[in-house]
């Protein structure tokens, strides 16, 4: 029997700031390879050639992002449920492919105050001149390790480890208070009932 999937932030759906939403269960595969051209042609998206960037494209696995994590290390992100076919598709290429979908959940942040909120706990310069669309950095946000993608003019995607997700959600709520982004429900303590 397969257990029902419960996202790490299921209890937080109604409590997150209005500008934050979770995209749970995305397929994520950690790829280590020096033969990225072949992998790119399988996925239909060229792998990033410069550090701290990501690329997007569309192919036989739908919309796929490839995030630079290290000189020979990448994270392939696709829609939920595609980890097995992608892993099998990449198996023909040289390198290692590991399904890490359960390791992280994804948060999408948007709105005019998104840089202000992130600046409360992230030291990376996120000004559009320093971090244009297409930037992908691994850093600390409020002492939590994150992968941060600049996906639009005022849109950011955060990948955070599942076990840190609730802490980060609480921190985001707190950092968003002064911008009036929280709903009427005060955030007091940890939500109960879902875990």
Quick one: which of 13, 53, 138, 155 contacts other proteins (CB under 8 A)?
138
Give 106's strand partners: 23, 159
E-strand spans in 87-128?
A: 96-99, 104-110
Q: CB of 137: closest distance to other proteins in angstroms? A: 7
C-alpha angle 7/10/14, rounded to 5°? Answer: 150
DSSP 101: G
Cβ closer to other proteins: 51 or 81?
A: 51
Q: Which region, judged by CB under 8 A, interacts with other proteins, from 8-16, 37-45, 69-77, 98-106?
A: 69-77
The whole-angstrom separation of Cα 103 and Cα 92 is 24
- The yes or no reply on residue 140 touching other proteins (CB under 8 A) is yes
- The yes or no reply on residue 145 touching other proteins (CB under 8 A) is yes
- The yes or no reply on residue 58 touching other proteins (CB under 8 A) is no
C-alpha angle 48/54/60, rounded to 5°? Answer: 80
Residues that bind other proteins (CB under 8 A): 51-52, 69-71, 73, 123-124, 137-140, 145
């Amino acid at each position: 029997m397969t257990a029902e999937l419960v996202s790490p932030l299921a209890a937080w759906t109604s409590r997150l700031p209005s500008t934050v939403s979770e995209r749970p269960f995305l397929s994520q595969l950690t790829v280590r390879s020096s033969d990225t051209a072949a992998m790119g042609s399988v996925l239909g998206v060229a792998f990033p050639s410069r550090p701290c960037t990501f690329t997007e494209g569309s192919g036989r696995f739908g919309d796929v992002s490839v995030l630079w994590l290290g000189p020979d290390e990448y994270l392939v992100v696709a829609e939920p449920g595609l980890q097995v076919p992608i892993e099998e598709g990449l198996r023909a290429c040289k390198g290692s492919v590991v399904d890490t979908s359960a390791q992280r959940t994804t948060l999408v942040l948007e709105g005019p105050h998104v840089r202000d909120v992130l600046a409360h706990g992230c030291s990376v310069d996120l000004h559009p001149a320093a971090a244009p669309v297409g930037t992908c950095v691994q850093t600390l946000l409020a002492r939590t390790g994150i992968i941060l993608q600049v996906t639009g003019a005022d849109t950011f995607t955060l990948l955070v480890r599942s076990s840190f997700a609730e802490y980060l959600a609480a921190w985001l709520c707190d950092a968003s208070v002064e911008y009036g982004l929280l709903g009427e429900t005060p955030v007091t303590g940890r939500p109960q009932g879902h875990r």
